[in-house]
């Protein structure tokens, strides 16, 4: 019994991080990644190096995000941001409901997602109609200068594609993203 006291074990020359730190409780501990229900192969969402991530999910929640050792780019490594990216997904400050601020309103109001979509669609069609330019300085332009978009560098290629496709079909040309900035 005496010989199992951590201080004795350390005095006997065992590494404080190895045998000396073992207990019944630590022996029973399992890594979160081992207990996960599923793992998805992902990519870090911050800079453009494109480090591989493994996203572990347990009980419908992200339980861990780690570097993917298979990635020839990152070889399992993540920087402080990539290592903290589980918090990006799980932090309490994430807004998960639609918010609406009416013109001149003093506060946010709740709004149903479906209603918001219908209202946005109405506004797009109305603004497009009101600001349509068939011609500009005597030449055909077929466009609206009333609608603009910003964003894309943090989104997926597929998302950028649908955005550019839809905006162009609407005649909205003022489409920009962080690549310009």
Sign of CA dihedral 99, 102, 106, 112: negative
| 169 contacts other proteins (rule: CB under 8 A) | yes
| Positions 56 through 85 that interact with other proteins (CB under 8 A) | 57, 60-62, 65, 69-75, 77-85
Q: Is 26 left (phi over 0), alpha (psi -120 to 50) or beta?
A: alpha
| 16 contacts other proteins (rule: CB under 8 A) | no
> Contacts with other proteins: how many residues (CB under 8 A)?
119
Interface with other proteins (CB under 8 A), residue from 3, 7, 28, 106: 106
77 in Cβ contact with 69 (< 8 Å): no
Instruction: Give 20 or 67: the residue with its C-beta nearer to other proteins.
Output: 67
Task: Give residue 14's Cα distance to chain centre.
Answer: 44
Q: What is the dihedral of CA 27, 32, 34, 39, to 10 degrees?
A: 180
Tokens 């990635």 belong to 71
| Positions 108 through 167 that interact with other proteins (CB under 8 A) | 108, 111, 113, 116-125, 127, 130-132, 134, 136-137, 139-167
| 29 contacts other proteins (rule: CB under 8 A) | no
> Smallest distance from the beta carbon of 164 to other proteins, in angstroms?
6
| 49 contacts other proteins (rule: CB under 8 A) | yes
> Smallest distance from the beta carbon of 110 to other proteins, in angstroms?
10
Interface with other proteins (CB under 8 A), residue from 9, 20, 44, 66: 44
- The 3-class secondary structure across 55-89, one letter per residue, is EEEECCEEEEEEECCCCCCCCCCCCHHHHCHHHHH
């Amino acid at each position: 019994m005496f010989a199992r006291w951590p201080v004795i074990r350390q005095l006997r020359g065992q590494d404080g991080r190895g045998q000396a730190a073992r207990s019944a409780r630590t022996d029973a501990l399992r890594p979160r990644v081992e207990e996960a229900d599923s793992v998805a192969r992902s990519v870090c969402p911050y800079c453009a190096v494109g480090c591989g991530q493994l996203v572990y999910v347990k009980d419908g929640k992200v339980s861990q995000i780690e570097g993917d050792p298979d990635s020839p780019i990152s070889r399992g490594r993540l920087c402080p941001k990539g290592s903290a990216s589980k918090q990006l997904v799980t932090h309490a400050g994430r807004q998960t409901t639609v918010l609406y601020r009416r013109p001149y309103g003093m506060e946010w109001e709740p709004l149903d997602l479906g209603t918001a979509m219908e209202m946005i669609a109405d506004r797009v069609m109305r603004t497009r109609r009101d600001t349509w330019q068939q011609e500009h300085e005597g030449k055909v332009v077929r466009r609206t200068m009333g609608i603009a978009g910003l964003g894309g560098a943090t989104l997926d290629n597929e998302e950028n594609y649908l955005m550019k496709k839809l905006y162009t079909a609407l005649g909205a040309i003022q489409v920009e993203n962080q690549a310009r900035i």
